[in-house]
Amino acid sequence: MKTRIALVLALAGLAACAVHPRATDPMPTLPALEGEPLPPPPSEPETPGVHAPPPAAEPAPAPAAAPAAVVPAPAPAAPIVKRRIWGRVAITTAVISPSQLMGPEMPFAPEYKRLPVFPERLTFDVSWGLLSVGEATLGVDKIVMFNGRPAYHLLSVARSNSFCDTFYQVRDLNESWLDARTLTSLGYSKKLREGRYFRDVWVLYDRDAGTFVERQTSMNGSFTIKTGTIPAQVQDILSSVYYTRSRPLPDGGQVVVDVNTPENWPLTVNVVKRETVNVPLGRFSSVQVEPAMRREGLFIQKGKRLRLWMTDDAARRVLMMKVEVFFGHITAVLREMV
């Protein structure tokens, strides 16, 4: 049952996941940006002991004990100045969070490449057979500066409904930053909370150096870091959805995308046919495509079949997603679009 629900809600940002309340990244810091310690305050001077003379008619008292030395109070801890990096930096293991690279929101500019729809929010009902199991959203909400480059902020969110929550709660979140000038990925973040399963990982791409950095954090806070190389024009799974939507989709055609997850592999999207489909939002002319997945990703596990239906117009809005698995079909259908 655990595997079934995970697959059901794997359809969320292009079938990818079922959503948890978004984990908030701490305000990040690079070691080179930390503040210098403040000088400690001056210590108090020591006060010497004073001995009074004995009364004349009485014997001299025992010598007084030597006064204790005054120990200066420890210097207060140096305050740490935490700053976001709004200019471009080399992606190294010193970066501790993608939010560290996010700058202010930017207006659309003529030199940016256009997405089919911007901004956009698509909401899907997710079902396993006839059983409703949750909902998912997919969209792009704004343009931000990301590591010194303007980038579309892509977001995929899903969550199990109250019925599924009683035995297997799922709360997942996927984010991606798509370079507005080139429509290539600058990095992605994945936060999965599925029953007892926990996955928190992000990957950042340095296109200038042709490298990536991956950081994966476990539930107890420990983490591992991986580095490697990338192709010149790379996508992550979520950004590849928007890249595919921006391409021509002729009958019998293909879109091939260099993807990093963080392994490098080619994603081939085959154009299958055109047909009319009915979804809760209405009846639409559509183009059906089938991505040939070779690694685990947002869609499904390797070896399973996924089909997507998109509006057969310039918008290429995702209307429906259907996964064939050994125990039936998992389907996400468009309920609302903004």
pLDDT tens digits for range 93-105: 999 999 999 999 9
More confident site: 36 or 181: 181
pLDDT tens digits for range 210-264: 999 999 999 998 999 999 999 999 999 999 999 999 999 999 999 999 999 999 9
Amino acid in the structure at residue 170: V
Alpha-helix runs per DSSP H in the chain: 2-8, 162-165, 237-245
Banded pLDDT at 91 (limits 50, 70, 90): very high
For residue 74, what pLDDT is reported? 52
Distance CA(330)–CA(66), nearest Å, equals 84
The percentage of the chain sitting over the pLDDT mark of 70, rounded to a whole number, equals 70
pLDDT tens digits for range 174-208: 999 999 999 999 999 999 887 888 889 999 999 99
Count the Cβ atoms, other than its own, within 10 Å of residue 215.
19
**259 and 237 in contact (C-beta within 8 Å)?**
yes
DSSP structure string for 184-220: -EEEEEEEEEETTEEEEEEEEEETTTTEEEEEEE-TT
For residue 200, what pLDDT is reported? 92
pLDDT tens digits for range 299-312: 333 346 789 999 99
Least confident range from 20-24, 55-59, 64-68, 220-224: namely: 20-24
More confident site: 40 or 285: 285
For residue 35, what pLDDT is reported? 35
Distance CA(282)–CA(256), nearest Å, equals 31
User: Would you give the DSSP letter of residue 78?
Assistant: P
Banded pLDDT at 27 (limits 50, 70, 90): very low
Distance CA(153)–CA(79), nearest Å, equals 33
